[in-house]
Structure 1
Amino acid sequence: MNELIYSEVDSQRFGVRVFRKVLDEFSVEEIASQVEKDKIDLIILRLPSVTKDKHSELHKLKCQVIHADTLVYYFSALKRSEITPLRNNLSFELISSENSQVLDEIVPIIFKDYTSHYASNPCLDKQKISAGYIEWAKSYISEAQEGRISWLVKQADDIIGFATCTFNKEKNECEGVLYGVMPQAAGKGVYTDIIRFTQGYFKDLGFATMWVSTQIQNYSVQKAWIKEDFQLKKAYDTYHLVFNKN
């Protein structure tokens, strides 16, 4: 088994030693060994939903096992897709270190009522989850890391949303990571327009495939993706394994 990876960001945010990994298969013995070796407090583990019959093995570990969410992935074959024109008159401004402070204001508003896998864990401070979304969004500014890009979405002079994406030129694929729309602009097709814009942006650059993902209960965005030629491809179950050090 590949070793679990230490998450510095999560560890600093929540004040415990957090490790995480996406695994196709796992060994309870190897996980237990690494927990002891690295003094792990929390593991965030994602396993393919098609292997669900094996997931009960996690209960053999001496920890609290929390099923935190089910994450679904959709893909769009950009080369074959016809990108629909935007419904609204929007502009997209690249996010850089010069304008990223706007995310401090809009991200907590946009994700105020959104329940991520972190929210499923009663051991984590809920007040720190919102700060995590801001940090996550800011990590996608264009100069933050190779293969990342993000935009502020504007209507006239008003900022009504944002979008963050990754791209991999070698694999010829990209991903819409985090999209958000301000409450006053919701229900007007803005979210769908953001999908169309990012699809068109990467299609024009010659990318072949685009991925998006969300929690299974987030029905509205999945309906929007399907209308824009995305297809359900795979799903993962997220588990939080909480180890009591007392």
Structure 2
Amino acid sequence: MAISYIEDKNILANCIDKRDFSIIENIIEDDKSNLNFYIEKDDILFGYKIKMVEQLTRIYGYNVYVVNFYSKNISHSFNSAEDNIISKVMEELSVQLKILKGYIIMKVPSDNIMLISQCNIHLKNIIFAGGIVCYYANKINSKDFEDDGLKISIISKEKKHELKSKIVPIIQESFKEYYGQYHISHITREKANIIYENWIEEYINSNEENIIVAEYNNEIAGVLSIDDNEYAIELVLSGINTKFRELKIYERLIRYGISLGLSKNKIVTTSTQFDNFSVQRAWINSGFKPYSSYYVYHLSNM
């Protein structure tokens, strides 16, 4: 089985749902001149692009970069010819990373076993920062909840600012005990929780209607931010008011998100750390199914 891949969870989910990777292949063809390096042979391509992550650079005060991989028609199983191509690309990447001063994040698709192997060979001093599993839904599993007065809706741009002082603390509290990739790395751990606070503030300050709120007895019971793009609606950041956990607020929020996507004839995507099992159970109960995963590597070159 051949794999075509770009670092865009929503496009990837769309292609997997349709079993058609032509969108990814066309994007790679159009964008390959902008890659830092790639090798193309016949109908196979493997390369990468390095870009700065402005939000993380602002938070940490040093340059933070991400390495995005691009692949077209790479085999899932081992293939010596393709492994040789990936090896040469990774050799070039290792040279560039030695020159690049800053902190580097890489997401390595777990189904590209040759890339994983070549990372082990060519990249030194890697910080393993866990892994991410991705789900999508193109239908919703029916379930009845008690009519307890809970109200869920997308709030207006004006309402976002009005409720900011209540939304931000819910996200802060929800991620206080969360241990993700930026916590696993001892270098980024100190400011890891600031990332999520900064993230929800970006949603609040944007001009989009991109925050779903659950209200119960005139209090905010839960919050869910979304990205509505051409290919999917992505469920991104969520937080639950601990006073209302028994009301299954989280599952009801994501079901609202699925219904919203289906009403727009779009699939719905979401992702989390490998070990975040409780939310994955809620996703599966609601109609989500896994479609991709990747390992996260950090490298410090400061």
Count of matched residue positions in the alignment of Structure 1 and Structure 2: 235
Write the letter of the residue equivalent to 2:165: Q
Residue 248 of structure 2 corresponds to residue 193 of structure 1: no
> Which residue identity is paired with 1:111?
F
The reply on whether 1:217 has 2:275 as its aligned counterpart is yes
Work out the percentage of aligned pairs sharing the same amino acid: 23
Conserved? CA contact 2:137–2:288, under 8 Å? yes
Q: Provide the rounded CA distance (Å) in 2 between the counterparts of 1:195 and 1:151.
A: 10
The amino acid that maps onto 1:54 is L
Give the alignment's TM-score, normalised by structure 1. Answer: 0.84
Distance change in 2, residues 1:197/1:144 (3 Å): same
Separation in 1, partners of 2:201, 2:272: 19
Per-residue deviation, 1:215: 0.8
Return the offset for 1:133: 0.4
Q: 5 Å matches for 1:125-140?
A: 125-126=189-190, 128-140=191-203
Q: Which of residues 213, 218, 237 is equivalent to 2:295? A: 237
Task: Say whether 1:124 aligns with 2:188.
Answer: yes
Cα deviation for residue 218 of structure 1 reads 0.4
Contact 1:20 / 1:44 at 8 angstroms: preserved in 2? yes
Moved over 6 A (4+): none
Gaps of 5+ in 2: 1-46, 72-85
Rg (Cα) greater in structure? 2
Return the offset for 1:85. 4.6
Residues 214 and 62 of structure 1: CA distance in aligned 2, closer, same or farther (over 3 Å)? closer
**Residues 231 and 125 (structure 1), Cα distance of their counterparts in 2 relative to 1, 3 Å cut:** closer
Secondary structure at the aligned position of 1:46 is classed as: strand
**Aligned equivalents of 1:220 and 1:13: distance in 2?**
29
Q: 8 Å contact 2:49–2:69 — kept in the other structure?
A: no
Task: Work out which of the residue numbers 74, 81, 90 in structure 2 matches 1:28.
Answer: 90
Amino acid at match of 1:12: R
Aligned-partner SS, 1:186 = helix
Residue 77 of structure 1 pairs with residue 138 of structure 2 = yes
Aligned to 1:15: 61
Q: Which has the higher contact order (CA 8 A, sep 6+)?
A: 1
Q: What letter matches 1:112 in structure 2?
A: K
Give TM-score, length-normalised by structure 2. 0.70
**Which amino acid in 2 is paired with 1:135?**
N
- Is the contact between residue 171 and residue 238 of structure 2 (CA under 8 Å) also seen in structure 1? no
- Please give the secondary structure, in 1, of the residue aligned with 2:228: strand
